[in-house]
Amino acid sequence: MKEKVAKILSDAESIACFMHKNPDGDAIGSCLAIKNAFKEKVKVYCPGKLPEIFMFLPGAEEVVQFSSFSEVKPAQVFLVLDCSDEKRIPDFDRSKAEAVIVVDHHETNEYFGDYNIVEPERASTAEIVFDILKLTKKPITKDVATCIFTGLYTDTGGFKYSSTNAETFQTAKELVELGAVPWKVAVEIYESNPPRRIRLLAECLKTLRLFLNDKVAVLYVTREMYERTGALPEDTEDFVNYARGIKGVEVGVFLRELEPEGVKVSFRSKNEVNVAKVAKALGGGGHDHAAGCELNCSLEEAIDKIINLLAQEMSGGQNV
Ligand code: AMP
Ligand code: MN
Ligand code: MN
């Protein structure tokens, strides 16, 4: 299938590349790797805003940020990267393309493309994009390597998560040899915090609550906290890791209020607990150890629902 997709991409006259909404380093890095490899014939689309911390990536300036799918121009191929289901690209209209290709590593992927490459055992979508680009025989430039490295680096939490294995380091080695500079990527992503983010973090940490024998830690951010600190939704990336990072905690949960209503939830687990199952039961998805969903209710109602489901899941319940 990868050979087939490599050929389709090489032969295509126009490619529109899509990332999921609230994009992370893997979604953005994967799309920009394609952009830097195939240049003019690729347009990269982001539903909503592209987080500022990723503007250092080559090609980021050219990403088209759209609020309505009517702004998306038809293309021969729609290439959807790191996205488990169509809902994560609002009003996705496949009739604007001759073929839809999905490349992803989510267990919960719904195989909504005409061609689907889904490899849940991979730590990032960017690595699969790397495989495909190698098959196209396009030279892997320093810019392409930097984009792929960023996807791999961020989706493994800087080589910390359980998805990190010998293959991850092998791929990272290849990318560094091709020109990616790890410390530069690290500084851009983890050491370029705007002060407003740190002020929001200070407010967020005060909300810490522990549940289920202190095995679940919950943190949240309200609309009012955003207003007080001048922070943006994208500034909460990784806040959930403060919840997971507590000794004895199995599951970290982070919630943020959405505009004008609703709640975005992030789950991170350490060992046994499958949070993708819980997120899926709430209409979302993700991986065993990192998952998310959106709920149309208040913060407190969301916390209630989540704790009830986690209680079942963590006692080995079958009803989730
Ligand atoms: P996040 O907590 O938003 O960083 O997401 C963690 C993981 O869950 C990522 O792999 C996401 O792609 C996935 N995810 C987050 N939100 C959703 C959602 N609403 N639907 C499906 N998957 C999601
Ligand atoms: Mn992602
Ligand atoms: Mn990913």
Which CATH number does the domain housing residue 250 bear?
3.10.310.30
- From ligand 1's centre to the CA of 267, what distance in Å? 9
Q: Looking at the structure, do residues 46 and 165 belong to the same domain, yes or no?
A: yes
Q: Looking at the structure, do residues 207 and 183 belong to the same domain, yes or no?
A: no
319 in a domain, yes or no? no
Q: Collect all residues with Cβ–Cβ distance below 8 Å to 68 and sequence separation of at least 6.
A: 91
Q: Looking at the structure, do residues 221 and 264 belong to the same domain, yes or no?
A: yes
Distance between terminal CA atoms of the chain? 34
Q: Looking at the structure, do residues 147 and 211 belong to the same domain, yes or no?
A: no
- From ligand 2's centre to the CA of 213, what distance in Å? 31
32 vs 26: CA distance, rounded Å:
10
Cα 182 from chain centre: 20
Q: Looking at the structure, do residues 209 and 99 belong to the same domain, yes or no?
A: no
Is ligand 1 within 6 A of the CB of residue 151?
Answer: no
Q: What is the pLDDT of residue 317?
A: 54
Q: What is the pLDDT of residue 210?
A: 98
17 in a domain, yes or no? yes
249 vs 55: CA distance, rounded Å:
34
| Whether the predicted model's global pTM rises above the 0.85 cut | yes
Q: Looking at the structure, do residues 57 and 155 belong to the same domain, yes or no?
A: yes
Question: Omega of the bond prior to 260 within 30 degrees of 0, cis?
Answer: yes
**Ligand 1, pocket-test mutation among 18, 20, 287, most atoms within 8 A of CB:** 20
From 145, 160, 190, the end of a domain falls on 190
115 vs 2: CA distance, rounded Å:
10
Task: Name the token pair of 301.
Answer: 């109602």
Q: What is the pLDDT of residue 64?
A: 98
Q: Looking at the structure, do residues 90 and 223 belong to the same domain, yes or no?
A: no
- From ligand 2's centre to the CA of 121, what distance in Å? 15
Q: Looking at the structure, do residues 185 and 202 belong to the same domain, yes or no?
A: no
238 in a domain, yes or no? yes
Q: What is the pLDDT of residue 223?
A: 98
> Which ligand 1 atom minimizes the distance to the CA of 27?
12
257 in a domain, yes or no? yes
Q: Looking at the structure, do residues 282 and 208 belong to the same domain, yes or no?
A: yes
Which ligand sits nearest to residue 275's alpha carbon?
1
DSSP notation for the chain:
-HHHHHHHHHH-S-EEEE--SS--HHHHHHHHHHHHHHGGGEEEEEESPPPGGGTTSTTGGG-EEESSGGGSPPEEEEEEES-SSGGGSTT--GGGEEEEEEEE--TT----SSEEEE-TTSS-HHHHHHHHHHHHT----HHHHHHHHHHHHHHTTTTTSTT--HHHHHHHHHHHHTT--HHHHHHHHHS---HHHHHHHHHHHTT-EEETTTTEEEEEE-HHHHHHHT--GGGGTTTHHHHHTSTT-SEEEEEEEPSSS-EEEEEEESSS--HHHHHHHTT-EE-SSEEEEEESS-HHHHHHHHHHHHHHHHTT-S--
320 in a domain, yes or no? no
How wide is the angle at C-alpha 168 spanned by C-alphas 160 and 138, nearest 5°? 135
For the domain that residue 65 is a member of, what is the CATH number? Answer: 3.90.1640.10
Sign of CA dihedral 50, 52, 57, 63: positive
Q: What is the pLDDT of residue 137?
A: 87
Is ligand 1 within 6 A of the CB of residue 244?
Answer: no
> Which ligand 1 atom minimizes the distance to the CA of 276?
8
Q: Looking at the structure, do residues 155 and 254 belong to the same domain, yes or no?
A: no
Cα 40 from chain centre: 25
From 190, 222, 253, the end of a domain falls on 190
> Which ligand 1 atom minimizes the distance to the CA of 20?
12
Q: Looking at the structure, do residues 143 and 250 belong to the same domain, yes or no?
A: no
From 190, 210, 232, the end of a domain falls on 190
Q: What is the pLDDT of residue 320?
A: 42
Count of C-beta atoms within a 10 Å radius of residue 26: 28
Domain containing residue 244:
195-314
271 vs 285: CA distance, rounded Å:
18
Predicted confidence pLDDT, tens digits, the chain (320 residues): 999 999 999 999 999 999 999 999 999 999 999 999 999 999 999 999 999 999 999 999 999 999 999 999 999 999 999 999 999 999 999 999 999 999 999 988 999 999 999 999 999 999 999 999 999 989 999 999 999 999 999 999 999 988 999 999 999 999 999 999 999 999 999 999 999 999 999 999 999 999 999 999 999 999 999 999 999 999 999 999 999 999 999 999 999 999 999 999 999 999 889 999 999 999 999 989 999 999 999 999 999 999 999 999 998 754 44
Is ligand 1 within 6 A of the CB of residue 113?
Answer: no
Is ligand 1 within 6 A of the CB of residue 29?
Answer: no
Is ligand 1 within 6 A of the CB of residue 23?
Answer: no
Is ligand 1 within 6 A of the CB of residue 285?
Answer: yes
When divided into structural domains, the chain yields a total of 2
Beta bridge partners, 74, equal: none
Q: Looking at the structure, do residues 180 and 199 belong to the same domain, yes or no?
A: no
Is ligand 1 within 6 A of the CB of residue 284?
Answer: yes
